[in-house]
Amino acid sequence: MKKRNKKLILDLLVVLVVFMIFLPILLMIPSMFKDKYEIFSYPWHLFPSNFTVDNFSRLLYLEYTSLAINFFRSMFVTIFVASVAVVLALSINMIAGFAFARLRFFGKNALWVMVLFTMFIPGITILITSVKVVTALGMLDSIWVLIIPGLVSAYNIFFFRQFYLGFPKEIDEAAKIDGATNFQLFRHIFLPMSKTPMVIIGASIFMGYYNSYLWPTLTISQERKDLFQIMYIIRMLFNDSSTIGYGSVLAATFVSLVPPLLIFIIVQKYIREGIALAGIK
């Protein structure tokens, strides 16, 4: 009986936590269909008195307002930047993790200590220096300034290195006997077996780029509105909410939630498959 009561309490706590997490979203959804006066009406009510989709349609015509921005183009650019970054970052960090885990080369231990050291440096402390570097390289106001600076991550290299250290040494020896090069060993053996960490790290990289606000704000000027990222656009809408209406801000926020939600669904599926395969093996 005590065990059953503990399980019931834990289940209730889980439900409560999930409810608290999703409560803002549940309150946001009906407010998206209210006009800008009804959202702040008193007494407050959950569902709209006059259902309207103007808040969504208004997003299509933002480039003709004082903001002069294209919301859905910014969505596309943000998703494109995040997707390209995932492919490049996974390639770089996986190869680096493989090199530190399985290869022997001069200065390996010293270089690994340097990589680990960067994990303890807060990104905000080198933000100004990073801006100066990309400025000197002439990368400001380009799509590459949104992609390249965040590709290499000490944490991601460490993650893949630890994963590859778990592979038995006999794999390397058997491949070398068959005449395989180090790249072939990585490409044909280690890479196909890395689905689960690829999905986990890939999703993390995508979310990091997709939710980026500070870096695009510092490196993309008003002259390149075609490169504005979605989080910066939502901030602009919030600052101009008195004109376009707070309902449009909520509508834009809801639309921006769709890609991360899809990523979460995909990640959840592949993680389950990876765990099942690992259990079978």
User: Which residue, 194, 192, 169, 179, is CA-closest to 104?
Assistant: 169
Flag whether 39 is in a domain.
Answer: no
Tell me the whole-structure pTM to 2 decimals: 0.86
Q: Give how many domains the chain has, as a whole number.
A: 1
Flag whether 88 is in a domain.
Answer: yes
* Exposed / middle / buried, residue 52 (Cβ in 10 Å: 0-12, 13-18, 19+): middle
Structure token digits, residue 222 = 């008003």
| 73 CB-side CA count, 13 A | 12
Flag whether 75 is in a domain.
Answer: yes
Flag whether 7 is in a domain.
Answer: no
pLDDT of residue 273: 60
Distance CA 190, CA 196 (A): 12
The two counts, helices (H) then strands (E), for the chain are: 14, 0
Q: How far is CA 22 from the centre of its chain?
A: 19
Domain around 239? 52-280
pLDDT of residue 277: 45
pLDDT, one tens digit for every residue, the chain (281 residues): 667 777 788 888 888 988 888 888 888 888 888 877 777 777 777 788 888 888 888 888 887 677 788 888 999 999 999 999 999 999 999 999 999 998 888 888 899 999 999 888 888 888 889 999 999 999 999 999 999 999 999 999 999 998 888 888 888 888 888 788 888 888 888 888 888 888 888 988 999 999 999 999 999 988 888 899 999 999 888 888 777 778 888 889 999 988 888 888 888 776 666 555 444 44
pLDDT of residue 9: 83
Flag whether 3 is in a domain.
Answer: no
* Exposed / middle / buried, residue 92 (Cβ in 10 Å: 0-12, 13-18, 19+): middle
pLDDT of residue 279: 46
Whole-angstrom CA distances from 159 to 85, 99, 210 are 18, 13, 21
Task: For the beta carbon of residue 65, count every other beta carbon within 10 angstroms.
Answer: 12
pLDDT of residue 272: 65
Q: In which residue are the tokens 């220096």 written?
A: 129
Phi/psi at 142 (nearest 5 deg)? -130, 160
CATH number, residue 119 = 1.10.3720.10
pLDDT of residue 113: 92
pLDDT of residue 161: 92
pLDDT of residue 231: 92
Flag whether 22 is in a domain.
Answer: no
Flag whether 173 is in a domain.
Answer: yes
Distance CA 55, CA 100 (A): 52
Flag whether 73 is in a domain.
Answer: yes
Phi/psi at 236 (nearest 5 deg)? -65, -40
Question: Residues near 142 by Cβ (< 8 Å), separated by ≥ 6?
Answer: 227
Q: Are the CB atoms for 134 and 214 separated by under 8 Å?
A: no
pLDDT of residue 183: 85
